[in-house]
Structure formats: structure tokens, C-alpha cells
Amino acid sequence: MAIAPASAHPLRIQGVLTPGDINIYRLYWRSLLLVQTSQKNERKSLIWKTILNWLENW
């Protein structure tokens, strides 16, 4: 099986996206944002837990 050269997809190189590509990018960014917000919320809750523990032990 021959590997297609990069010139096989000139539209992709020029940055022209098909609606299917746009949907994939949307899903990708949405999942990235969800992961980032959940990580931030976890970090916030960890900070709050440590602050509360520190206040209780103080």
C-alpha cells in the first residue's frame, strides 16, 4: 500500500475545512474544555479542603 503524499490533500493544507472536519474540531475542543474545567474544579476543591483542614487544626 502506497502512502499518499501531503499534496494529496491540498484543501487541508490551505486550511479549507469540510463540515465534517469542523464537527470533529468542535467535539475535540469541547472535550478539551470539559477536561480543563473539571481539572480546575478539582484543584479548587483540593485548595478549599486544605484551607478548611488548616483552619480546623489551627
- The pLDDT assigned to 14 comes to 57
Contact 6, 13 (CB under 8 A): yes
**Mean pLDDT value of segment 34-51:** 85
- pTM score over 0.85: no
Contacts of 6 (CB under 8 A, 6+ apart): 13
Q: Inform me whether the pLDDT recorded for 10 exceeds 60.
A: no
Contact 45, 53 (CB under 8 A): no
Percentage, residues of the chain above pLDDT 70? 71
List alpha helices for the chain, DSSP H.
10-14, 19-57
Span 17-30, pLDDT tens digits: 677 787 888 888 88
- The pLDDT assigned to 37 comes to 83
